[in-house]
Structures are given as structure tokens and as C-alpha cells.
Amino acid sequence: MSTTKVSSWNDFDPLRHVIVGRADHTCIPPSEPATEAKVPQDSDMRGMWGPRPLETVEKANEQLDFLVGILEKRGIRVDRPTPLQWNQATVTPDFTTGTMFGCMPPRDVLLTVGKEILSAPMSFRCRYWEYLAYHPLMQRYFDEDPEFRWEQAPRPRLTDEAYQQGYFDEITIDERLRRTAALDFVTTEHEPLFDAADVLRFGKDLFCQHGLTTNRRGMEWLQRHFPGHRVHAVNFPGDPYPIHIDATFVSLRPGLIINNPVRRLPDEQRKIFAANDWEIIDAAPPAHNEPPPLCYSSVWLSMNCLILDHKTVCVEASEHRQMEQLDKLGMEVIPVPFRDAYPFGGGLHCATGDVLREGSCEDYFPKQVPGTRIRPIG
Ligand code: DAV
């Protein structure tokens, strides 16, 4: 057996070991205070819940397995989670909900920062137990890597106080956009909340999207938990459903970021990137006008790519514009068919979780500029 080493500081250094999710037993959860957020008004998913149709699970697993094959052929070690029977109720002293969700997107749950893998609190009630699918792997890494730090953020209570009641009642897209710009989200500041996929890692600096799934207290918790790092808050006013940063703001290599052109980072928050010679360019437009059926995510999964090293990137195979842009930027592009997996929790970045990338904890932002930094309370 290969010896495990856990270490990853960013999303672009050479990938050596990764977790790829599985679609088995994935459910569409019933609505709850936070997921009302994500099901669009006109969606065919409204009011529907329970296990996803088996043939869609099989198709998604085929594409996930195909991705695994591509990675393994390149010498990257791949591990897989152990799915639970997600079609079970979650019952805690504080809430009950009808089903869980799934374990296709490890990125949402697992935050790897150096030698640590931290399970996020998760802001959806249906995702409360999702970290358990990764437990067998964490246990193994713990046994095989004496320096691995196996961590868990404070489990949230997710009582009604964690959410603004009635937040989504008759809300229009314009109103959503107004609230995103005003930092007015369904999650309250009652307790620290974040999903791992709201955090973009750049060595010493961690940039967190303030949105529907991550609150200010969550970022303050991260800052205290990682005292050697600098935690920053960013937000993207053009996004009516701000959940997870990885279809909005994606780092390609040191010094270069693609930003979703309809969800631009505000000027004030760009200053730190400019001051440290990071270029932010518009991502190419998606190839599709609509996401696949029963999908939570937007067409901007086009930019949700998996970077294998500074010159190599996996992109969804039909996203010809995004592939062309990355090719012009000097990268070898590996097309990976993945649209059948999208409805299970996202794109190629979502579906993976870092265990080992080469490289060390760099300081990419030596010039700190006011505008984004989180400071602990008190
Ligand atoms: O654009 O729908 C998807 C991110 C999934 N982790 C979007 C965001």
C-alpha cells in the first residue's frame, strides 16, 4: 500500500492524491429553511424529494469513474468515499428533515489546509451527517500519516434561529440580487456556519465567499482556527444564489484568476489582488443556456475546472469556449464528460477533494490591503 501524506495549500500545485465522490443513493432533499434558497422558482425540482432515479445515478457514476481513470493514468492516487443510505431522515434534538443528500461533492464538505482536513459545519440540515461518508478515509489517513490533522468544525445546531424566516417568500431575482449586494442572506449570524466550497485557498491567505451558506461568524471561526493564515471575506453581487465560490472565482496558477463575468468581484475587494500582481480575467461564457435536468447548479459549472498542475486542467468536455480560453492561456486541456454528474452536486472541482498537492505554504499576498480581511471579534 502506498504511504499516505496529506498536504495541500492551494488549488493549482501538482495534484498527487485526491478524493473523487460517488453518486450512489443521492437524494433530492425536501425543502428546508436554507435549501429553498437554491431551488429556483421555475425549477422542475420544486416540491419533489426522495432518491434520484437509478438510471441517472448510474450515468453519473460512469462519468465519475471515467474521471478516476483519467487521473489514475496520470499517476494520481484516487480514493472514494463510502456512501451512506442517504434516504434516511436526519433527526437531532433541534430539527428533523426527511432525507440526507449524498457524497458526490467532497469539495463542499472537506477543507484541506496544509496537513489538516477539516469537515465543515454545513449549512443545510440535510447535509448534517455527510462527513461520515469520508470517515473511513480520514481514519486511514490518520493511521498512515502521523502528521495528518483530522479536524471537525463545531457542529451547528441549525435551529430556526440559524435562518431568516420567510426569507424566500415571493422573492424575485432582482430582490435576490439586491440582497446579495447588501450581504443579507438566509443564514443569520446565530452560530458559525460555512461550507468548505466557499473557501478558496491561496497558501497563507484564505478567501471566503460570504453568501447563503457561509456567514461572517463562520469566517471568524476559521480565522481563529487558522491563526497563521489570513482569512478574507469576498462577495459577488451579481449572483442571485451565492452558494460556493468555485463557479465564480477560480485560481488557475500563481498570479492568475478567472472570475465569472456576471458575478464580478467588487472594486474595493480587487485591490489586494492588484497590489500583489494577481491578474483577474473574465471567464469564457458557458456552452449551455441551461443546466441539465434536476440540477441545483448554474451553467457556470463551465468554469468549475480541476487543475492538475500549473499547465494542466480538466474541463467539462462540452465547454468548448472555456477549453479554448484555457488553451490560449497556455494550458493543456483534458476534456472530461461530466454533465450527467452535475445534478449530483456540481462540476469537476466540486466532485473532488484534495489530499496531496506538491508545494508549500506560500505568501502570495505579501502586500495586505484593507477591504477584505476578517479579524477575530474582541
Ligand atoms: O453557479 O451554481 C455552483 C457551485 C457548486 N459547488 C453555481 C455554483
Number of structural domains (the chain) is 1
Residues β-bridged to residue 315: 335
Answer whether residue 366 is part of any domain.
no
pLDDT in tens, the chain (378 residues): 568 999 999 999 999 999 999 999 999 999 899 877 555 555 666 667 899 999 999 999 999 999 999 999 999 999 999 999 999 999 999 999 999 999 999 999 999 999 999 999 999 999 999 999 999 999 999 999 999 999 999 999 999 999 999 898 888 999 999 999 999 999 999 999 999 999 999 999 999 999 999 999 999 999 999 999 999 999 999 999 999 999 999 999 999 999 999 999 999 999 999 999 999 999 999 999 999 988 989 999 999 999 999 999 999 999 999 999 999 999 999 999 999 999 999 999 999 999 999 999 999 999 999 889 997 443
Please give all residues whose beta carbon lies within 6 A of any atom in ligand 1, as ranges. 197, 243-244, 246-247, 297-298, 300, 346, 350
Answer whether residue 320 is part of any domain.
yes
Say which CATH number the domain at 207 has: 3.75.10.10
Tell me the pairing of strands 332-336 and 312-316.
Answer: parallel
Answer whether residue 177 is part of any domain.
yes
Answer whether residue 369 is part of any domain.
no
Which residues are annotated as catalytic?
195, 244, 350
CA of 302 to the centre of ligand 1 (A): 10
Residue 291 CA, closest ligand 1 atom number: 2
CA of 241 to the centre of ligand 1 (A): 8
CA of 339 to the centre of ligand 1 (A): 13
Order across the sheet with 110-113: list the strands. Answer: 110-113, 116-119, 149-152
Q: Strands, E, within the chain: which ranges? A: 15-20, 27-28, 50-51, 77-79, 90-91, 96-97, 110-113, 116-119, 149-152, 199-202, 205-209, 230-234, 249-253, 256-259, 279-282, 306-309, 312-316, 332-336, 352-357
Answer whether residue 26 is part of any domain.
yes
φ/ψ (deg, to 5) at 316: -60, 135
Q: Which domain, by its residues, includes 320? A: 15-357
Answer whether residue 82 is part of any domain.
yes
Closest Cα to atom 5 of ligand 1: 346
Answer whether residue 378 is part of any domain.
no
φ/ψ (deg, to 5) at 336: -130, 115
Residue 243 CA, closest ligand 1 atom number: 8
Answer whether residue 266 is part of any domain.
yes
